[in-house]
Amino acid sequence: MVKKDGRMKAVAEIFGNMKVVKLQAEEVRLEAKVTALRHAEMQTLGTYVLAEATQTALLFTTPVLVTLVSFYTYTIVMQETLSVSKIFTAMSLFSLLKYPMMGLPQAIVALMQALVAVDRMEEFLNYDDKPVSATAPITGSSQPAIQVTDATFGWDAKTSVFRRLSLRIGRGELVVLHGAVSQGKSSLCAALLGEMVTQSGAVALRGSVAYVPQQPWIQHMTIRDNILFGQPYDRVKYHRVVDACALTSDFASFPAGDRMEIGQKGVNLSGGQQARISLARACYSDADIFILDAPLAALDASVQRQVFSKCILGLLAHKTVLLVSHNVDVITSPAVNQTMELVDNGTVVQTVVSPKHMEPEFEPTLSSPPSPLMHEAEDDYNARADTAALEGLNLLRSPVPMPPNTPLFVGDIDDHQADVDEQRILSGKLIVEESRSEGRVSGAVFWTYAQACGGWPLLVVLGPLLLSYSGVQVASDLWLSRWSNTASKVSPETFLAESSYYLTVYSLLVLTGCGVAVGRAALSWAAGLAASRVLFDRMTAALFRVPMAFFDTNPVGRVLNRYGNDMTAIDTRIPSLAGAFLTLTVSSAFAVGTMVWAMKSMALLIVPLLVYYYRMASFYLQSARAIERVNTVTKSPLLNLTAEIIDGAHVVRAFGPHHVERLVRLHHA
C-alpha cells in the first residue's frame, strides 16, 4: 500500500500538471520515474502474488489431502475395511468442510486488509485539524476588522516564521501589503486565515472573509459556477462583478460566454483570466473582509488600471481589503489607507498614509503609459458606470468606513452592461463525456489480456495443466470407486492386503493433482503479474505521448481512476478470478462428462439444465456488466472532485464553514 500510495501521488502530480511537463519536454524523464515507482511496487506485489498463489494452491489441495490422510488412517492404521457407503459418506462430509476451509484463508486475508485500512484511516484522522474559519464574531463597530496581537506564527509548532507580530486594520480600510520576493507575504495571508499554527498571541478577523490566492484555484465547471461558488444567481449583482473584474470582453470572445466549461486547473484560460475569475468569485461572495494575494500580478497595465479602479476602489469601496501588490502606483495611491512592508525576519513595518497624500492634487506617476493611473481609470469608470448607484463616490479618496456586513449591491440597478445573453445556445463544451460500453465484452478485450499474459505459449502450457488437474480429480474418484467395489468381492483379509496397493495409487493421483494445482496457481498468478506490467507500461507510454488536447478534455480524475481502481483490479482481482473461472469451468465439464459416461440417461436431464443455467447466467451477466461499468465510470468524477477540493482546501476554508459543508455534501452526493 505504501508503494502504491507513492506511485499514485506521483501520477496525480505529473498528470495534473501535464501542460508544464510538455512545455518543459520532461515526458521521458517523468515516464521513467513513474515506471521506476511501478517496478518498486511490483516487487512488493510479487510477494503478495506468491502468497496468493500459495493460498490458491492450498484451497484446491487441502480437501483432497485431508481425504487421503483419513483413508490412510482408516485402512492402514485402524485396519478397517472401506465400503462404497463409507467412502462416499466420508467424501460428502469432507465436501461440507471444503468450502469453509476454502473461505477461511480468504476471510483472514480480508480481515488483515481491513485492519491495515483501519490503521491507515486512524493515522489520517488523528492529524491536527485546520480551523474551518479564522473569523471572530462582530461585537462592536469600533473594533478593527483585522487584529493581530503579539502573535507568533509557524508552519508547525516548532519553527516560527513571524514572531511577536501585531497589526491592526480598521473596517473599510484599504491596506496594501508589499515587500521583496520571498519575504512571506503569502505566508502572512495564510497566517491571518488560520492556515499557519498560532504558537502564541491572538488573531481575529471580525466578519466574513473572501480570499483570492496568489495561484488561482479554478474548479472544473463553467465560469459562472466558479464565480457563483454555490451561491444563488443574481443577474444584476453578477454582471456588476463581471464588469468590475474586466471579464465582459473575455466572455464575449468565448463560444459559450460565461457558460464555457473550464478544463482541469483552468487549462483553457490565461493566467490573467484565472486571476480575474478568482477575484470575481471573492467579490460575488459579498464578504466583509477581502484578502487579495497579488490578484493584479498576472494582468497587463491597462487591465490592472481597470480592475484596481472598478473593483478594488469601486466595488469594494466600503469593504476591508488587504491587497498584496508590488505595483508602485498601487502602493502610493492616495486611496490607500495604510501600507505594510514585510522586511527581513518576518517583521512588518506598518505605515498609515499621511493626510496630505489624500489631497486631490496628488497624482501618481506611471512609467508606462505616462498618463496618471487613477485619473484615467476614474474617467473611464465614471463614463460607463451607473451614476445613480455611484453618486458621491470619489475613487481617489479613502472610502468612508461602513459596517462590515454592508452588501455590495443595493437598490434596483439597471444592468446595461449585460453583454452575455442568458438565452444563448451553449456551445464549445470542453470536457468530453466518459464513454461506457454496452452489451457483451468484446472478444478483442479478452485476447488483448491473454496476449499481455503471454499469448499462445501461455495457453499451450496452461491448457494441459487445467485438463490434467480435472482429469486427475476424475481418475482419483474412479479409483476410489474401484477400490471400494473390491470390498464386496474379496475377503476382509484380502481387502486389507490389497489396501496398500490401492492407497498407493490413490496417493500418487492425489499428489499429482496437488502438484498440478500448485503449478496451475503459480502460472496463472505469474501470468497475471506479467499482464499487469505490460498493460501498465502501455498505458503510461500512451498517456505521456498523447497530445495536450487529451488532458484538456479529460479531467485528471479519469487518469487517477485508471491508475488506481482499474490497475488494482488488473493486479489482484482478474488473476484470481480468471484462474478460478478456468479451473472450475474445466472441472465442471469433466464432471458432467463423467456423469454422462457413467449413466447415459443423465444426458436427458443435464441438457435442459445446462440450457436453463446458460439463460440464467446470461440474464445475470447483463445486470452485472452494467453495474460494474456504471460503478467504474462514476468513480472518475468523485476522484476529480476530491483532487480539486484538496488543491483548494485553503480557499474553501477561508470562505467559511458553510462552503466546507456544501462541498462535503457535494462529495457525498
- What tens digit of pLDDT does each residue of 520-531 get? 888 888 898 999
Euclidean distance between CA atoms 145 and 169, whole angstroms? 6
Residue 409 to residue 242: CA distance in whole angstroms: 13
In tens, the pLDDT along 458-516 reads: 888 888 888 888 888 888 878 877 877 777 777 777 777 777 888 888 888 888 888 88
Q: Work out the average pLDDT over 355-379.
A: 35
Confidence check: pLDDT of 429 > 70: no
Residues 6 or more apart from 124 whose CB is under 8 A from it?
Answer: none
Q: How confident is the model at residue 357 (pLDDT cuts 50, 70, 90)?
A: very low
| 314 has pLDDT over 70 | yes
Find out whether 453 and 278 touch, Cβ atoms under 8 Å.
no
pLDDT at 392: 32
Q: What is the pLDDT of residue 398?
A: 35
Is the CA virtual torsion 382, 387, 389, 390 positive or negative? positive
Residue 286, pLDDT above cutoff 80: yes
CATH fit for domain 2-125+443-598, picks 3.90.960.10, 1.20.1560.10, 3.90.550.10, 3.40.50.1820? 1.20.1560.10
Give the pLDDT band (50/70/90) at residue 430: low
Considering the chain, what is the average pLDDT of its residues? 80
Residues whose CB is less than 8 angstroms from the CB of residue 519 and which lie 6 or more positions away in sequence, other chains included:
465
- Secondary structure of 510-530 in the HEC alphabet? HHHHHHHHHHHHHHHHHHHHH
CB-based contact 349:341 (threshold 8 Å): yes
Burial class, 206, CB count within 10 angstroms (exposed 0-12 / middle 13-18 / buried 19+): buried
- Asked whether the bond before 401 is cis by omega within 30 degrees of 0, the reply is no
3-state secondary structure of 258: helix
**DSSP letters for 198-214:** EEEEEEEEES-EEEE-S
User: CB neighbours of 533 closer than 8 A, spacing ≥ 6?
Assistant: 38, 42
In angstroms, the CA 602 to CA 604 distance is 5
State what percent of residues in the chain have pLDDT above 70.
84
Task: Quick: pLDDT tens for 580-611.
Answer: 888 888 888 888 888 888 788 878 888 888 88
Return phi, psi of residue 251, to 5°. -65, -35
Write down the pLDDT at residue 346: 67
First to last CA, the chain: 27
Confidence of residue 134 (pLDDT cuts 50, 70, 90): low
Domain spans in the chain, listed from the N-terminal domain onward: 2-125+443-598
